[in-house]
């Protein structure tokens, strides 16, 4: 997360949306940023991004949402954009079990190409989209078990009827903030020189 330069208090948060083609990544981004939904949307080719400012717990964030192409044939076009991400939204569709099974692959792909420093604590969020569709192939319990196992927060969304879309993106900003606070707590110690530590005797060789 870095200062956007807009105001000293606004932080730029780069969020990457990943998941199978057709799960609703572009629709979620458009619902969040423009509050619109298109039932006839086209597959994304490569990557597109949009910005939106949000305020969470008195902090203002510019959410920079990077919407990627989920289809396998576009892999080489999307992966260069993972670097520098502050958060990754792993998206599947609750009416498509294969898109849920592929979450593991998406997480791996992200970690491989984003080249993050601390893989274990990187802020992921899982979105189970299209909850407006009654014919589910993935139960909320199964999704929650996967997310608990990977220690990732889970939101069920619908880009079509707006369910939880705002809340999920706010959740992503909170995840990033929590992670930064943890790192801030750790870093003073990392740079501290321990004056009580015994120095090697002069003349001794290492
Ligand atoms: N019922 C329902 N349909 C949705 C929802 N979100 C997206 N769709 C529809 O699902 C189809 C695919 O949506 P997209 O947003 O284009 O999917 P995508 O994940 O961006 O797909 P790629 O760009 O190929 O990776 C479109 O016809 C959307 O209208 C939703 O929440 N509910
Ligand atoms: Mg798309």
Predicted confidence at residue 179, as pLDDT, reads: 85
> Predicted confidence band at 172 (pLDDT cuts at 50, 70, 90)?
very high
Q: Is the pLDDT higher at 176 or at 204?
A: 176
Residue in 18, 26, 74 to alter for ligand 1 test, most ligand atoms within 8 A of Cβ: 26
Q: Is the pLDDT higher at 90 or at 4?
A: 90
Neighbours of 136 (CB within 10 A): 18
CA atoms 15, 19, 22, 24: torsion sign: negative
Predicted confidence at residue 74, as pLDDT, reads: 95
CA atoms 83, 89, 93, 99: torsion sign: positive
Q: Is the pLDDT of residue 144 over 90?
A: yes
Tell me the HSE value of 73 on the side-chain side, using a 13 A CA sphere: 3
Q: Is the pLDDT of residue 6 over 90?
A: no
The chain-wide mean pLDDT, for the chain, equals 89
Which has the minimum average pLDDT: 14-18, 150-154, 169-173, 189-193?
189-193
Predicted confidence at residue 204, as pLDDT, reads: 39
Pocket flag, ligand 1, residue 162 (CB < 6 Å): no
Pocket flag, ligand 1, residue 12 (CB < 6 Å): no
Q: How far apart are CA 199 and CA 141, in angstroms?
A: 56
- Expressed in angstroms and rounded, the spacing between residue 32 Cα and the centre of ligand 2 is 14
- Expressed in angstroms and rounded, the spacing between residue 22 Cα and the centre of ligand 2 is 7
């Amino acid at each position: 997360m870095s200062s956007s330069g807009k105001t000293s208090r606004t932080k730029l948060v780069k969020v990457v949306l990943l998941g199978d083609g057709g799960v609703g990544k572009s629709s979620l981004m458009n619902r969040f940023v423009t509050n619109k939904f298109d039932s006839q949307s086209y597959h994304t080719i490569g990557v597109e991004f949009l910005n939106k400012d949000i305020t969470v717990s008195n902090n203002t964030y510019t959410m920079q949402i990077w919407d990627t192409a989920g289809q396998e044939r576009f892999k080489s076009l999307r992966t260069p954009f993972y670097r520098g991400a502050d958060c990754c939204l792993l998206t599947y569709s609750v009416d498509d079990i294969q898109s849920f099974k592929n979450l593991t692959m998406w997480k791996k792909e992200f970690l491989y190409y984003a080249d993050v420093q601390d893989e274990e604590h990187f802020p992921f969020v899982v979105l189970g989209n299209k909850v407006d569709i009654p014919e589910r192939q993935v139960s909320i319990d199964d999704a929650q078990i996967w997310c608990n196992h990977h220690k990732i927060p889970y939101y069920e969304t619908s880009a079509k009827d707006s369910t939880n879309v705002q809340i999920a993106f706010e959740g992503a900003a909170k995840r990033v903030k929590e992670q930064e606070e943890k790192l801030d707590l750790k870093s003073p110690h990392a740079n501290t020189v321990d004056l009580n530590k015994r120095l090697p005797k002069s003349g001794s060789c290492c």
